[in-house]
Chain A
Amino acid sequence: MTQLLNYLILLGIIFCTAGFIFMVYLIKKTSGSTIKEPGKIKPAESGFLPQKPAWGRYHVHYYAIAILFLAFDMEMAYMYPWAVVYKELGLVALLDMGVFLMILFLGLIYTWSQGGLKRQ
């Protein structure tokens, strides 16, 4: 089966999902409409009406780990093709990748020792 057909099917899946959701919305629309009431404008905050929008600079406490994740993600991108041909290549492949992994692993240990894996 050609690869083009695969991707076409995937595109078809996306369209079908959109179509299904559209159908559900259509069903809802024909069954009744949402009345405009003042209580529905603000998000629900357990008995209070929030006065300010919530958007703004959010303090994300795990940014150090996210950067480490980025590095490891790049590594994983290289590991996929390596994994496919691993068995043919044998011990050499293991040692090559072992060196690569070891370097990154040392990076992980360094971050751990510097307290980067905690809540900032």
Chain B
Amino acid sequence: MAGACQGEGNLITRFFSKLAPPVISVLPIPGEEVFRSNHVFFSDLGLEVAANPRAANVMIIRGPVPVNLNQHIIITYAQMPRPRVLIFDGLEQLPGLPHPDLKLEQEEAGYLGLKKTLEKLLTHPFAADVEPYAPEVVIKQLEQDQESQQGHQHHHHGHDHSGHQHEHEEHHQESDQDQHQSEHQHHSGRQEEEDHDHHDHSDHSSTEEEEHEHQHSGHDQHQEHEKHDGHDHGGHGGGMGFMSMVMMTKDMPRSMDGLPMEHNQAHFGPFFPGLTGGISVQMMLDGDTAMQIKPELHLMQRKNDLPPLKDMSELPQRLTQCNPLCPETWKVMGELLLNPAHELTFHQVQRLETERIDAHFNWLITFSTLTGNQWLRLKAEKLMKHKNYREQKETIRKFTDKILKFRHLKHKIQAVGSVPDHLLHHTRGIVARAAGQARDARIGSERYRKLGFEPVLGGQNDVWGRLKQILAEINQSLELLRRTYEEANQEVPSPGPVDKIHPAQAELESPFGLLIGNLEVKKRKHYKVSIKASSGCHLVLAGKAIHQLELSDALVSLASFHINPWEVNKIEIKNTGHA
């Protein structure tokens, strides 16, 4: 096993492993939602889901994986303590990672015996000679950090005072250690920043910084840095005399109440247990207030890993691979693009609505992890596992009613996460309808009109309003499903095989917002399909709307924007031109 521990294990470890095999703690990549939407529930299989890489001993990666996510997977794998097991599911290989210990094909049956296999692997995970795993990505970044520690003196010269945000980006790219103080635009203030930064880092080799400090005209550092052990300041003491606290902290960023504090930067990144896997934001934290958040917009881009289609009739199947969180919706989109004039069949509506309910429950489970409500998580999982939603209509209705009665939850998430009014027209989907704007692609559809569809409109532009909207839409989808089964005798025959492909445009209401598909004819027999979704816009909006909120409020607001990370970037598929 590539991820075995070094050593031999002693009597006690052997005794305990024989007595009880270890807990299997799984870190699902790219996120637990992808597994749930394929009806793989880890709690059913007897596995636990780990909160962070340090608590996991198994990493399961389910393909397909976007290219930019690769380095984060490598970093996460490197951060897992041994013994660690690597499982690929539907993937052949990932550059940078060692060979997987298990390979699964993407089917449910493969998961049934997984626990026993893993327990057998992990019963005695010791090996005499183990090679350390030193991926290039990690080494390069650590070296960059080392360099930036030593080289930051070159940085600070030639600052542009007016370009505060620009500075921020620059620092970010060069991974500067003093990044969080990039608000300090004055050279004279640099002295105190470095002192503040360094006096707690006792492991820090800072001979270069010392020289750097020596160059500046005498600020007396002795006064407040008694803890600055190991550095000899005898050479340049006694410059300015007494320096008041106000002067000392002149250039530190001010918080909302005017106190000078230092900001921390943290990534709430692709594999965070409370957010959908794949959403990554960088937050600037003042204490535990998120001053601003910067979403990563290109993490889940799929540019070159989608090979061109040989035959356009493969389009619906190919589109299901593009978006593991709502594959059926994209498949229907593909079918619509190939037969644009055709009305939606009942079967398609059933698939759409079932997937809508699936996606909403999936979101609810992640949301319950974020807000820490165990009962909600257990109940939503139980309802989602039972695939036949028609039988559960009453149970689901009682469940949604119960959630709406949670006064504490309402109090907690109300008045948080509103989209500013002048930006409301950019929203689609749940976010728009919760704010009272009737934007729904199903309004224009003939089939939905026959089913008596009316968009549900909420009145609250905040997280609680969106939660209510989701619950109401779950019930609405159940009702629509019931009607499709009743009226199935009026079914329109499904369209035959495609003979001629025309340029087409189609709009669909996916569970996460609006989905617009475009089929262009480039040249004879050369087609290009591009699909855009509103999730990208929502992610940018979330970056703008979340401003100076407490950390948990910020995360809850981000989750409420209902972003599907796989839809954030535009997807383009071409064909090879032979059919």
In the complex, A touching B (Cβ < 8 A): yes
Using CB atoms and an 8 Å cutoff, list the residues of chain A in contact with chain B.
27, 30-42, 44-61, 119-120
State how many angstroms separate the Cβ of B31 from the closest Cβ of chain A: 11
A32 touches B9 (CB 8 A): yes
A9 to B21 CA separation, bound complex (whole angstroms): 37
B461 within 8 A of A: no
B269 touches A59 (CB 8 A): no
> Which of B9, B179, B262, B280 contacts A31 (CB under 8 A)?
B9
A31 touches B8 (CB 8 A): yes
Contacts of A40 in B (CB 8 A): 78-79, 81
State how many angstroms separate the Cβ of A47 from the closest Cβ of chain B: 4
Q: Which of B133-141, B427-435, B452-460 contacts A (4 or more CB under 8 A)?
A: B133-141
Contacts of B265 in A (CB 8 A): 50-52
Contacts of B148 in A (CB 8 A): 51
- A57 and B269 contact, Cβ closer than 8 Å, known pairs A35-B132, A44-B53, A52-B180: no
B484 within 8 A of A: no
A50 touches B266 (CB 8 A): yes
- A27 and B10 contact, Cβ closer than 8 Å, known pairs A48-B269, A61-B287: yes
- A39 and B272 contact, Cβ closer than 8 Å, known pairs A32-B126, A49-B75, A50-B267: no
- A59 and B142 contact, Cβ closer than 8 Å, known pairs A45-B267, A47-B76, A48-B72: no
Instruction: Give a binary string over B37-70; 1 marks a CB under 8 Å from any A CB, 0 the rest.
Output: 0000000000000001110000000000000000
Q: Which of B158-166, B193-201, B309-317, B509-517 contacts A (4 or more CB under 8 A)?
A: B193-201
Instruction: Give a binary string over B269-280; 1 marks a CB under 8 Å from any A CB, 0 the rest.
Output: 111100000001
B10 touches A59 (CB 8 A): no
Contacts of B175 in A (CB 8 A): 51
Which chain B residues in 103-148 approach chain A with CB under 8 Å? 126, 130, 132-135, 138-139, 141-142, 145, 148
A46 to B12 CA separation, bound complex (whole angstroms): 33
A120 touches B257 (CB 8 A): yes
Q: Classify chain B's interface size.
A: 35 or more
Summarize A's interface: helix, strand, loop or mixed. Answer: loop
B259 within 8 A of A: yes
Q: List 6 A-B contacts (CB under 8 A).
A: A27-B12, A32-B9, A52-B264, A56-B197, A57-B196, A119-B550
- A46 and B271 contact, Cβ closer than 8 Å, known pairs A55-B200, A59-B259: yes
Q: In this complex, which of A51, A56, A61 has the most chain B Cβ atoms within 10 angstroms of its Cβ?
A: A51
Q: Which 4 A-B pairs have the closest CB atoms?
A: A32-B7, A39-B78, A59-B287, A56-B262
A59 touches B261 (CB 8 A): yes
Contacts of B197 in A (CB 8 A): 56
A59 to B289 CA separation, bound complex (whole angstroms): 9
Contacts of B170 in A (CB 8 A): none
B7 touches A33 (CB 8 A): yes
Contacts of A33 in B (CB 8 A): 6-7
- A36 and B13 contact, Cβ closer than 8 Å, known pairs A47-B271, A61-B289: no
With A47-B76, A59-B289 already in contact, 14 other A-B pairs whose C-beta atoms are closer than 8 Å: A32-B8, A37-B78, A38-B134, A38-B138, A39-B77, A40-B78, A46-B52, A49-B142, A49-B145, A50-B266, A52-B178, A55-B201, A57-B260, A59-B261
A36 touches B264 (CB 8 A): no
A47 to B255 CA separation, bound complex (whole angstroms): 28
A38 to B74 CA separation, bound complex (whole angstroms): 12
A58 to B132 CA separation, bound complex (whole angstroms): 36
State how many angstroms separate the Cβ of A46 from the closest Cβ of chain B: 4
B261 touches A35 (CB 8 A): no
B169 within 8 A of A: no
A107 to B431 CA separation, bound complex (whole angstroms): 45
Contacts of A46 in B (CB 8 A): 52, 76, 267-272
A119 to B267 CA separation, bound complex (whole angstroms): 24
A56 touches B264 (CB 8 A): yes
B132 touches A37 (CB 8 A): yes
B266 touches A38 (CB 8 A): no
> Which of B82, B142, B255 contacts A35 (CB under 8 A)?
B82
A61 to B552 CA separation, bound complex (whole angstroms): 14
B567 within 8 A of A: no
Which chain B residues in 495-537 approach chain A with CB under 8 Å? none
State how many angstroms separate the Cβ of B57 from the closest Cβ of chain A: 14
A40 to B265 CA separation, bound complex (whole angstroms): 20
A56 to B178 CA separation, bound complex (whole angstroms): 12
A58 touches B6 (CB 8 A): no
Contacts of A45 in B (CB 8 A): 266-267, 269
Contacts of B13 in A (CB 8 A): 27, 31
A57 to B138 CA separation, bound complex (whole angstroms): 28
Contacts of A61 in B (CB 8 A): 287-289
A55 to B239 CA separation, bound complex (whole angstroms): 27
A49 touches B196 (CB 8 A): no
Contacts of B142 in A (CB 8 A): 38, 41-42, 49
Contacts of B260 in A (CB 8 A): 57
B200 touches A49 (CB 8 A): no
B5 within 8 A of A: yes
B366 within 8 A of A: no
A39 touches B133 (CB 8 A): yes
State how many angstroms separate the Cβ of A52 from the closest Cβ of chain B: 5
A38 to B137 CA separation, bound complex (whole angstroms): 10
A55 to B264 CA separation, bound complex (whole angstroms): 8
B191 within 8 A of A: no
State how many angstroms separate the Cβ of A111 from the closest Cβ of chain B: 16
Q: Residue on B with the closest CB to A41?
A: B142
A78 to B262 CA separation, bound complex (whole angstroms): 39
Q: In this complex, which of B145, B196, B550 has the most chain A Cβ atoms within 10 angstroms of its Cβ?
A: B145
